[in-house]
């Protein structure tokens, strides 16, 4: 969201790339990267390239790195070696310490985004409640809740006896600001992505019930399931890294180095 807002306020075009999408492309990733930077040079607005999970292909070079990933890393380093008005590269990672030293050297700024606090979690819950539940069954809805887009898709759904659009969801009594605040208090440590996935699960739970009505009972049932999932995931991460604050220290170290 921050990269999109930055692109819009700067008037630049923007492209989004996931680091996890690069490895399956093999040698073709180099061609795609060069094509992206060529696009930036042709754009009258300039291009903001946002790379999520950047450590997936911009990690430190070693003997175990595949030729495809090595070529992709070298291609990006080649195209970002000099200052340019044609593009801006924004990287996002939870593991900044894994990035190649040459990649870090090309970054002018480092910004650390903390996990949302209670007030921010409440605002995110309200935002995603609107997107995933209140607007479900509309063109503005999220998680596939809007209408089928193409004629072929609509015809296929009709032949299979499926609805062209999801049902609208009614908000039951008790699903209010107090309930969201209750959830925000319990979701300490949740990321923005986890909160979005939680509300998508609420939507799915409503559609799996007898009526398309979100009740406090459904909301709390999904919340408890997600709290258990979060606790299990946290235990796994702690066991994997060997120290509870290892990821946080890595992020802070990268930020302070700038």
Displacement of CA 134 from its chain's centroid (Å): 21
Displacement of CA 33 from its chain's centroid (Å): 21
10 Å Cβ neighbour count for 241?
13
User: What is the value of pTM for the model shown?
Assistant: 0.66
DSSP state of 22: T
Whole-number Å distance between alpha carbons of 36 and 79: 10
Q: Could you tell me the CA-to-CA distances from 252 to 12, 19, 94 in Å, in that order? A: 29, 22, 11
Q: What percent of the chain has pLDDT over 70?
A: 80
110-124, 149-163, 229-243: the lowest-pLDDT one: 149-163
Do residues 130 and 85 touch, judged by C-beta distance below 8 A?
no
pLDDT (0 to 100) of residue 162: 44
- Beta pairing partners, 91: 51
Strand stretches in 152-223, DSSP E: 170-171, 213-214
State residue 215 phi and psi, 5-degree precision.
-110, 160
The string of pLDDT tens digits covering residues 87-125 is 889 898 888 889 999 999 998 888 888 899 999 999 999
Helix (H) or strand (E) holding 28: helix 28-42
Whole-number Å distance between alpha carbons of 22 and 24: 6
- Band (pLDDT 50/70/90 cuts) for residue 245 is very low
- Band (pLDDT 50/70/90 cuts) for residue 28 is confident
Average pLDDT for 208-235: 93
Taking each continuous run of H as one helix and of E as one strand, the counts in the chain are 10, 5
Whole-number Å distance between alpha carbons of 121 and 190: 8
């Amino acid at each position: 969201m921050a990269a999109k807002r930055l692109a819009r306020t700067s008037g630049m075009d923007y492209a989004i790339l996931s680091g996890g999408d690069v490895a399956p492309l093999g040698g073709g990733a180099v061609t795609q990267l060069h094509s992206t930077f060529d696009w930036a040079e042709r754009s009258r607005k300039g291009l903001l390239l946002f790379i999520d999970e950047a450590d997936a292909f911009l990690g430190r070079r070693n003997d175990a790195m595949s030729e495809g990933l090595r070529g992709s890393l070298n291609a990006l380093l080649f195209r970002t070696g000099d200052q340019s008005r044609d593009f801006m590269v924004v990287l996002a990672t939870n593991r900044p310490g894994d990035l190649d030293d040459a990649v870090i050297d090309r970054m002018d700024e480092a910004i650390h985004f903390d996990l949302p606090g209670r007030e921010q979690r409440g605002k995110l819950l309200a935002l995603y409640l609107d997107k995933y539940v209140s607007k479900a069954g509309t063109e503005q809805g999220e998680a596939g809740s809007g209408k089928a887009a193409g004629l072929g898709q609509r015809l296929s759904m009709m032949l299979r006896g499926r609805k062209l659009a999801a049902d609208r969801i009614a908000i039951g009594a008790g699903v209010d600001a107090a309930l969201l605040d209750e959830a925000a208090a319990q979701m300490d440590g949740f990321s923005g992505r986890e909160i979005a996935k939680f509300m998508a699960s609420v939507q799915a739970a409503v559609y799996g019930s007898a009526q398309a009505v979100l009740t406090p009972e459904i909301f709390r049932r999904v919340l408890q399931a997600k709290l258990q999932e979060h606790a299990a995931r946290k235990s796994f991460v702690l066991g994997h890294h060997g120290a509870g604050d290892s990821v946080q220290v890595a992020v802070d170290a990268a930020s302070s180095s700038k």
